[in-house]
Chains A and B, each alone.
Chain A
C-alpha cells in the first residue's frame, strides 16, 4: 500500500513519504501550508488512492472535541419521558455518534479528515490526545468503551491561526506543503486541464508568478486561484495576445478578479501598474 499521487493530484516526493509513513504507522498526519495549496484535497486523494471511504470532520470555532466522539441529547429524552415514549427506556437512543466514532466502527479502514483544526478553541487538540493516540474512548452514559476496529488514517489540516500544543504535535507526522515550483505547477495544470494550450500556460504562469512577487499583497494568489483563473481564461477564449501584450496600458491581467481576492490588493496592484506606466511613458 503506497501513496504515489493520483491522476488528479500531483504529490511531491516528500509529501509521499510523509503520507506513507503516517498510513503505515497509523499516526495522524498534520498538514500545513499556504491557503489554496491543496491541503484538504489531499485527504480526498489519499482516500481515493487507497480505495477507502473518506469521513470529513470540518472544524468551526464552536466545535468541541466531545462532538467528534458523541453527543448525548438530554433535551429530547426529557421531552420523550413527558410524552411517555417507549424509546426513553434505552439511553442509547439519545446518543448521537460523532465523526470519530463513525470512523472507529467502520469494518474497512477509512480516512478521517479533521479539517482546519486551528479554528477551534486552543484546548481542542488536547482533548483529543488520548482518542487519537489509542484510537479508543469511553462513553460515560452507557459505560461502554469504543475501540477502533481498524485504526483510521487521520489527516489533519491547519492554517496556522492558532498554535497547536506540543503534546499533540509529538503524536503527529508533519508536512508543510510548500508553494509549488513553476515546474511542479505546470504538472498540476496538466493534471487539471489536459487539453489546455501550452502557450496559454506559459504566458499565464508568467503573469501569475509575477503577480506573486508584487510586494505587500494581503493574499497572494495560490494554486487554487490559478486553476480558477485558467478555467476562466479558457472559457472566455481570450486571444493569447492579451496575456502576451506588454502594453503598459493593459498591465492589469484580464479577469484579475479570480486572482486577487480583496479590494485593497486590487487597488494596490492598480496603483503599481499606474506608476509603472508613468515611468515607461
Chain B
C-alpha cells in the first residue's frame, strides 16, 4: 500500500527517493505515527516534502491514494485564470453575441463559442504573421493572443507588420525563488567565478610567511585577504509577449544567477533594448531608468548577459520608432551597439531552440549585432556563454 503511495508521489513529479521511503518505514516501525491517519499524513509529509511549494501537490497525491479521490488537476490547465478567458471572450466576441450568450447564462457556452471563434481565427491567420508569437508554444500564442494583455484597437502599425500596443500590460516579475533545476545552472555559472583578494586580511599567507621568515630570521607572519568571487554581472531580461512560454526557464536562470554572483544587477526590457529599462514590471510605466544612466553607472568590467527570444519584427531593431510600445527616437541597433562598445564581454542567451534561429530575421540581426555571441538558453548554451564571458 505504501509502495503504491510512493510510486504515486514519484509519478506526480515530487523528487522522492528510496532513502526517504526507508526513513518513513523506520519511523513507522518506531511508532511515530500512532496509527492515526492524521499523524501518518503529517509524518509522511515531513519525510517526503522538502520544499513548501510542493506541499500542495503532495496533499493532492495523498488524497488520491488514500481516499480514492480520482482528480489530480493538471497544473497546465489549472493555471489559466478565469480573468484571461473572460478578457479573451470580450476580445473575440461582439458585445451582441456576449449579451446573447449571457442571457442564456451559461459560462460553458461562452467558452464553447469562444473556442469556435478561435479556431476560425487560427485559419485566418495562417499567413504566418510574425507577431503571432512562437507558433503553438503557449496555449494562446498560436492564436496571436497575449494571455496577459489585451490588444485593443489593432490599427495596423506604420511598417505594416507590427502593431502598436498602447494598452497597459502587466507582466509577471521573475520569481527568483524557483528551486528546482537551478543547481545545474549554478554549477554552469560557477565557471564564471573570478577570485580576487580584497578587503580585510584574515587568512594566513603561508608562502609569504615562509619567505619573510627566512628573509628576516624571525617568525614574521603575513596575512592576506580571503578570496572572493569578484565577477560583476549585469543581466537584461526581455519580458512579456512572446517571452511568456519561457518564464520558467528565465526564472531558473535568474534564481541561479542571483545566488551565484555577489555583484549582480538586472533590468528588464521589452523585445529590444531602447532608451529606457526598468526593474519592476508592475510599475514599469512609472519607474524606468534611462539606459544611458545604466551605461554610465556600471563600469566596463561588468559582464553583460541579455536574455530574450529576439523574435520581433526587424523594424523594431533597425528603425527609429519601431518599438511596439512607445516612440523610440533611436533605433534598437544603435542601443545594442552602444552596449557592445562599452562592455567587451557581452552575450545573448536565447530560449528559442537554436535550429529555429535561421528562420527568423530578427534573431539573425541581433546575433550579428552581438558579434555572433548568441547562445541557446540551455545548459550547453550557458556553458558556451560563460566561456565567451571569461
Q: Does B120 contact A (CB under 8 A)?
A: no
The answer on a CB contact under 8 Å between A21 and B179 is no
Interface 9-mer from B47-55, B99-107, B284-292, B300-308 = B47-55
Known: A13-B38, A17-B42, A25-B27. A173 touches B177 (CB 8 A): no
Closest to A177 in B: B52
Complex Cα–Cα for A18 and B226 (A): 40
The answer on a CB contact under 8 Å between A21 and B46 is yes
Q: Does B182 contact A (CB under 8 A)?
A: yes
Complex Cα–Cα for A173 and B32 (A): 13
Known: A20-B32, A163-B183, A171-B19. A82 touches B219 (CB 8 A): yes
A130–chain B nearest beta-carbon distance, Å: 14
Known: A74-B204, A78-B219. A162 touches B50 (CB 8 A): no
Main secondary structure of the interface of B (DSSP, over half): helix
Q: Does A193 contact B (CB under 8 A)?
A: no
The answer on a CB contact under 8 Å between B218 and A82 is yes
Residues of B within 8 A of A164 (CB): 50
Q: CB-defined interface of B17-52 with A at 8 Å, one 1/0 digit per residue?
A: 101100100110011110000110011011101111
Complex Cα–Cα for A175 and B30 (A): 19
Closest to A24 in B: B30
Could you tell me how many residues of chain B have their Cβ less than 8 Å away from some Cβ of chain A? 35
The answer on a CB contact under 8 Å between A166 and B42 is no
Beta-carbon contacts under 8 Å, A73-108 to B: 74-75, 78-79, 82
Residues of B within 8 A of A62 (CB): 226
Residues of B within 8 A of A175 (CB): 46
Complex Cα–Cα for A51 and B95 (A): 72
Complex Cα–Cα for A24 and B24 (A): 12
A124–chain B nearest beta-carbon distance, Å: 12
Q: Does A269 contact B (CB under 8 A)?
A: no
Selected from A24, A165, A170, the residue in CB contact (under 8 A) with B183 is A165
Beta-carbon contacts under 8 Å, A172-200 to B: 172-176
Q: Does A71 contact B (CB under 8 A)?
A: no
Q: Does A122 contact B (CB under 8 A)?
A: yes
Q: CB-defined interface of A146-173 with B at 8 Å, one 1/0 digit per residue?
A: 0000000000000011111110011111
Q: CB-defined interface of B69-95 with A at 8 Å, one 1/0 digit per residue?
A: 000000000000000000000000000
Residues of A within 8 A of B31 (CB): 24
The answer on a CB contact under 8 Å between A17 and B19 is no
Residues of B within 8 A of A173 (CB): 23, 46-47
Residues of B within 8 A of A165 (CB): 183
Beta-carbon contacts under 8 Å, A15-38 to B: 17-18, 20-22, 24-25, 27, 29-30, 32
Q: Does B208 contact A (CB under 8 A)?
A: no
Known: A75-B204, A160-B177, A176-B55. A17 touches B46 (CB 8 A): yes
Closest to B15 in A: A166
Selected from A14, A18, A32, A75, the residue in CB contact (under 8 A) with B221 is A75
Known: A17-B32, A17-B39, A163-B182. A174 touches B23 (CB 8 A): no
The answer on a CB contact under 8 Å between B30 and A162 is no
Closest to A161 in B: B259
Residues of A within 8 A of B45 (CB): 14
Complex Cα–Cα for A13 and B31 (A): 16
Residues of B within 8 A of A160 (CB): 177
The answer on a CB contact under 8 Å between A17 and B33 is yes
Residues of A within 8 A of B182 (CB): 163
The answer on a CB contact under 8 Å between B42 and A13 is yes
The answer on a CB contact under 8 Å between B46 and A25 is no
Beta-carbon contacts under 8 Å, B309-344 to A: none
Known: A13-B42, A30-B50, A165-B183. A24 touches B19 (CB 8 A): no
B161–chain A nearest beta-carbon distance, Å: 38
B212–chain A nearest beta-carbon distance, Å: 13
Residues of B within 8 A of A163 (CB): 179, 182-183, 255, 259
Known: A17-B42, A24-B31. 7 other contacts (CB 8 A): A14-B45, A21-B46, A29-B46, A32-B52, A62-B226, A82-B218, A171-B19
List 29 A-B pairs, Cβ < 8 Å: A13-B38, A14-B42, A17-B42, A17-B43, A17-B46, A18-B43, A18-B46, A21-B27, A21-B43, A21-B46, A21-B47, A25-B23, A25-B26, A25-B30, A25-B32, A29-B46, A74-B204, A78-B219, A78-B221, A79-B219, A122-B259, A160-B177, A162-B259, A163-B179, A163-B183, A163-B255, A165-B183, A173-B47, A174-B51
